[in-house]
Amino acid sequence: MSRRQGAEGFIRPKKTSKQEKTTQRTQDSQDERSMLLIACEDSVSAPLYFRAIFNDLKNNHAIAASSLVIAKHKHTDPDGVLDDLLDHPNYQDFDHQWIAIDRDVERTNGGGHTLDNFNQAIARARGKNIKVAYSNPCFEIWYLLHFNYRDTAIDRDELVKQLEHKYQYKKNELFTLNQDQQKTAIKNATRLIQSWIDTHDTTKPATDNPSTTVHDLVTLLNGFKKDPAQQPE
């Protein structure tokens, strides 16, 4: 009788080695760790978009439920958004910290932000090693890039109207987009940023209209997917 069989001939289950247990504990710890914290400028559009990505990752068991967090929304100006992130309990414990902000120039009919506020948010964030997903003029430029490439200036109102009329966009509702469209947006956003670098050897977030670095954050989120087949090429 094999020494791994019991008296009745049943195979005894192989004991889990200490190394295997340690590896499993390490994996569990990685799955449950605080991976990414985002603070958003608006309370609807960007949070809805990112929560949809978070939920997809959670439903596919790519990350633990508490791994991705959107900070409590208190401010609507870029510098205040950074404060929202810094006010989040133990924000330093997250592997990645991001703010999502808009240039959104001041408008005569009200709204928008000062140039100093926007630039100060970026400077302060970089000083604290916090990443910035900025959009000029606003987050909706990221949506437009899912459909077509645009490198000519556009203001916030015109951009939103274009999305509403051509693509049935609604400001306070989740804008459903598929993986192929996301691939297009990432390529278009990357091309757009490169066009500004080619123009003046660097990026100038406050004046590069249109431009966005939301694709950098989305690419990071795609990297959390465990199955390579799920990731956009």
Structure confidence by residue, pLDDT tens digits, 148-189 = 999 999 999 999 999 999 999 998 899 999 999 999 999 999
The rounded distance, in Å, linking the Cα atoms of 157 and 130 is 29
Which of 12-16, 90-94, 128-132, 133-137 shows the lowest mean pLDDT across its residues?
Answer: 12-16
Helices (H), the chain: 18-32, 45-59, 78-86, 115-127, 140-144, 156-167, 179-200, 214-222
> Which tops the pLDDT comparison, 111 or 221?
221
Which of 11-15, 47-51, 135-139, 172-176 shows the lowest mean pLDDT across its residues?
Answer: 11-15
pTM, full prediction = 0.84
Which of 4-13, 98-107, 176-185 shows the lowest mean pLDDT across its residues?
Answer: 4-13
C-alpha separations of 87 from 46, 123, 182 in Å: 19, 18, 31
Question: In the numeric block, which tokens belong to residue 188?
Answer: 């278009």
| DSSP state for residue 105 in the 8-state scheme | B
How are beta strands 96-102 and 36-40 bridged, if at all?
A: parallel
Q: Could you tell me the residue ranges of all domains in the chain?
A: 33-230
The rounded distance, in Å, linking the Cα atoms of 24 and 26 is 5
pLDDT of residue 226: 65
Q: What is the pLDDT of residues 179-222, one digit of tens each?
A: 999 999 999 999 999 999 999 999 999 999 999 999 999 999 99
pLDDT of residue 159: 97
Binning pLDDT at 50, 70 and 90, where does residue 23 land? very low
Q: In the predicted model, is pLDDT for residue 107 greater than 90?
A: no
